[in-house]
Structure 1
Amino acid sequence: MKMGMRKPSLKKSISARTKGQLTRRIKRTLNPYYGKRGTGWLHPKKKLYNKAYQKTTFSFWDLFK
């Protein structure tokens, strides 16, 4: 498990703002439960990992907030 600052990636951040945005919009139209709160319990192992990861790491941009 990673701890500390996540390494920033310009390529991934651009991808998330362009292709990712379009992909999420399509998924929302096809699946009414996509992106809703509480649906993480469908995959409990992944939910627990993501929760721990978010608590133990921080973004480069969080330093400026």
Structure 2
Amino acid sequence: MKFGMRKPSLKKSISARTTGRAKRSLKRAVIPGYGKKGTGFIKNPKKAVYNKVYNKTTFSIFDLFK
């Protein structure tokens, strides 16, 4: 498990802001339970717990400027 600052990635940042938005909107229209709060824990509890802890113990470099 990582603690502290995450290493920034420009490529991943751009990808998340562009292609991800179109894919998410399409999936929301087609899959009934997609994007609803709490479904991640039902689908894969181990991954959901890991992600929750990871997001609480790490921070982005951009969080330092807020």
What is the TM-score normalised by the length of structure 1? 0.92
What is the TM-score normalised by the length of structure 2? 0.90
Unaligned segments of structure 2, at least 5 residues? none
Per-residue Cα deviation, 1:3-55 (whole angstroms, up to 9, x for no partner): 11011111111101111111111111111211111112221101110011001
**SS of aligned partner of 1:15:** helix
| Alignment map for 1:34-45 (pairs within 5 Å) | 34-42=34-42, 43-45=44-46
Q: State the Cα RMSD in Å.
A: 0.9
Partner residue, 1:53: 54
Q: How many equivalent residue pairs?
A: 65
Unaligned segments of structure 1, at least 5 residues? none
4+ residue runs over 6 A deviation: none
